[in-house]
Amino acid sequence: MKIGVFICHCGENIGRTVDCVRVAKACSFFPNVVHSVEYKYMCSDPGQNMIKQAIKDLKLDGVVVGSCSPHMHEKTFRKAVSDAGVNPFLCEIANLREHVSWVHDDKEVATDKAIDLMRFAVEKVKRNAPLKTIQVPVTKRTLVIGGGIAGIQAALDVANAGYEVVLVEKEPSIGGHMSQLSETFPTLDCSQCILTPRMVEVYQHPKIKLMTYSEVEKVEGFIGNFKVTIRKKARFVDDTLCSGCGDCAIKCPIKKKALSEFDEKLAFRSAIYVPFPQAVPNIPVIDKEVCTYFKNGKCSMCVKVCGRNAIKFDQQDEFISEDIGAIIVATGYKLYTIDKKPEASEIKGYGEYGYGKYKDVVDGLQFERIASASGPTSGEFQRPSDGKTPKKIVFIQCVGSRDESKGFSYCSKICCMYTAKHAMLYKHKVHDGEAYVFYMDIRAGGKMYEEFVRRAIEEDGVKYIRGRVSRIYEEDGKYIVKGEDTLAGVPIQIDADMVVLATAMVAQTDAPKLAQTIGMPYDNYGFYSEVHPKLRPVESSTGGVFLAGACNSPRDIPDSVAMASAAAAKALVLFGSDMLEREPTIAFVNENLCAGCFYCKKVCAYNAIEVKQIKDKNGNVIKEVAFVNSGLCQGCGTCNATCPSKAIELIGYTDEQIYAEIAALM
């Protein structure tokens, strides 16, 4: 084999800490290396041409590039090699940037390490086999998980491009958090007014199959070819019969036993209910936990009043299987809870703010409901404890966020804005009211955002105080808020009528569970991870899985919508061709060695191993061996490590290749 080595300086990025000339020189002495050069930018056109030219001139049949992470440019270089007529899988990348030059300071040591990594790669490429990519068909249907504004937008975009969508929402209605908001920054338009038409559009779209009160149970397969099982939870109402008249909810005797989730526990709902009047679909569900029928077989009032016989107490959960090509995850966020800390949680909670025991110390979404015309107070500012109009409100920012001790270290990005909005809405309605905002920094980096915050301060007279509040306690019906103005260096104490905590957006509690169902990564906070924070922000590293909205990190509506459209576009890109290319890194069985023990079959998570019968000329079965279904094998290599006979090998990562790399350590 004739191997060419190409060392990249990456401008100064590698060259500053790695002596590229010395590396190239050292590589030239490796066995089989016939050509070894360095260059400033290997991924540039001249750089790629250098490789192509060398292949042609020197008849190279193996290439090793020492450059950035293979996650960055492996594709680029494989393509270049392939263009020059060499099988792309005979090209290996050594990571001299992310794993060497950027993480070490000492030039000597870094250069030595770079040479080692090059040696690994050369030893590996020697044992690489020329491979062909695998072609698989694409199912052109999209699953959207989560029906908040992000999921709605993604579903509509894909459907409007002419492809079928299955939209799965776990709550009885789509709409997500946006449906709970009063008015929205930075324009102060009414949230419901702009959202409801979209929700209806989803409902009526011929290409969208809407499944509310449903959850994804199982995801099998891979990009272009997922098989998804969805659990349709029993509503106890037949959605094909119900007309959405609402009589059942009106007559349901349960009035004060269940707190409305939609109203953030500031109001009650009945046992049979639709979460809010504009719900889509407008079909109620029965809450088994509070319904008297489910408790002791009594009542059945809803059955009596329902003119369409839609109530079905014996309804069971259904499981529905769908063939899917692309998945868009848009499961959104939840709010940091100010209640007493949950058991076994890392989060300590704000005992100094009362752990939620003070009725008039509310969180951001509760305040949205109080401010909302459709909320429990019809948009009048009344405090929950006694219904009085608060004359003095204190807003506290960064609660649960930017706080390693009680919550999370990240900035929740939107709460500066919603606090300014809250203070403004309050001042617009309660003219003689006083509004104070305790903040650490004001982060208003969007279009017209800074202007919005300044308006709250300059025109509406909201007082901003730079400092974190240390404690809140109740005294004679007032809430004593103890803070410090760090700009003036003076302690500030305010006796407020009400306190609003700008609580952080945090990941859904079940986010890791869904991630594990799908097999995609998430970060320490529970937010789903994108492949690359700058260049591939809407893709999960699992092929065919895209991300939209606040499930990826805290974000506001404009950003969620933009991300949703981007995710939809990514799904549509996938649907642009009928067949999909896949890396040929799959397992392969040496039938002569295979003992037919099928340990491999047991450990394969993709059911890729099948039983193959070997027959003699007369058609008698002489033995059974393992066989890898190349459409299903994902190339994890677990079978390879398990096989006691060393009969099954993972192409591209064979024992021989790995041992060669290990040996290259010396």
Using CB under 6 A as the binding criterion, the count of chain residues that bind ligand FAD stands at 42
Toward other proteins, which CB reaches closer, 381 or 395? 395
Which three-class secondary structure state does DSSP give residue 66? strand
Told to check if 168 binds ligand FAD by CB under 6 A, we report yes
**In the numeric block, which tokens belong to residue 509?**
């509690």
Among all chains, which residue has been given the structure tokens 């069985």?
589
**In the numeric block, which tokens belong to residue 477?**
């019906």
Q: Which of 149, 173, 177, 144 is nearest to 159 (CA)?
A: 144
Told to check if 529 binds other proteins by CB under 8 A, we report yes
Told to check if 404 binds other proteins by CB under 8 A, we report yes
Query: Which residue from 41, 203, 294, 355 is in contact with other proteins, where contact means CB under 8 A?
Result: 355
Toward ligand FAD, which CB reaches closer, 184 or 192? 184
Toward ligand FAD, which CB reaches closer, 93 or 228? 228
Toward other proteins, which CB reaches closer, 15 or 375? 15
Told to check if 93 binds ligand SF4 by CB under 6 A, we report no
Told to check if 407 binds ligand FAD by CB under 6 A, we report no
Least Å from the CB of residue 553 to other proteins? 11
Q: φ, ψ for residue 201 (rounded to 5)?
A: -60, -40
Query: Which residue from 4, 332, 635, 637 is in contact with ligand FAD, where contact means CB under 6 A?
Result: 332
Which letter does DSSP use for residue 389 in this model? P
Q: φ, ψ for residue 94 (rounded to 5)?
A: -105, 135
Burial class (CB in 10 A: 0-12, 13-18, 19+), 43: middle
Told to check if 147 binds ligand FAD by CB under 6 A, we report yes
Site residues for ligand SF4, window 275-304 (CB under 6 A)? 284, 286, 291-293, 299-302
Least Å from the CB of residue 181 to ligand SF4? 16
Are the CB atoms for 282 and 239 separated by under 8 Å?
no
Told to check if 646 binds other proteins by CB under 8 A, we report yes
Site residues for ligand FAD, window 536-555 (CB under 6 A)? 549-550, 555
Least Å from the CB of residue 440 to other proteins? 5
Give the CA angle between residues 385, 387, 390 to the nearest 5°: 90
Among all chains, which residue has been given the structure tokens 């008297």?
292
Query: Considering CB distances under 5 to 8 angstroms, the limit depending on partner class, which of ligand SF4, ligand FAD, other proteins, none binds residue 659?
Result: other proteins
Among all chains, which residue has been given the structure tokens 């077989």?
297
Using CB under 6 A as the binding criterion, the count of chain residues that bind ligand SF4 stands at 84
Query: Considering CB distances under 5 to 8 angstroms, the limit depending on partner class, which of ligand SF4, other proteins, ligand FAD, none binds residue 641?
Result: other proteins
Q: β-strand 134-137 against 579-582: which pairing, if any?
A: antiparallel
Give 252-260 contacts, CB < 8 A, sequence gap 24+.
Answer: 252/301, 252/302, 253/292, 253/299, 253/301, 254/290, 254/291, 254/292, 257/290, 258/287, 258/289, 258/290, 260/376
Toward ligand SF4, which CB reaches closer, 11 or 85? 11
Binding-site string for ligand SF4 from residue 497 to residue 536, where x marks contact by CB under 6 A and - marks none: -----x----------------------------------
Give the CA angle between residues 55, 60, 63 to the nearest 5°: 85
Q: Which of 203, 252, 6, 42 is nearest to 121 (CA)?
A: 6
Are the CB atoms for 413 and 400 separated by under 8 Å?
no
Site residues for ligand SF4, window 379-398 (CB under 6 A)? 397-398
Query: Considering CB distances under 5 to 8 angstroms, the limit depending on partner class, which of ligand SF4, other proteins, ligand FAD, none binds residue 164?
Result: none
State the residues that interact with ligand FAD by CB under 6 A.
Answer: 145-151, 168-171, 176-178, 181, 184-185, 215-216, 330-333, 335, 364-365, 368, 414, 418, 421, 505, 508, 510, 514, 534, 549-550, 555-558, 560
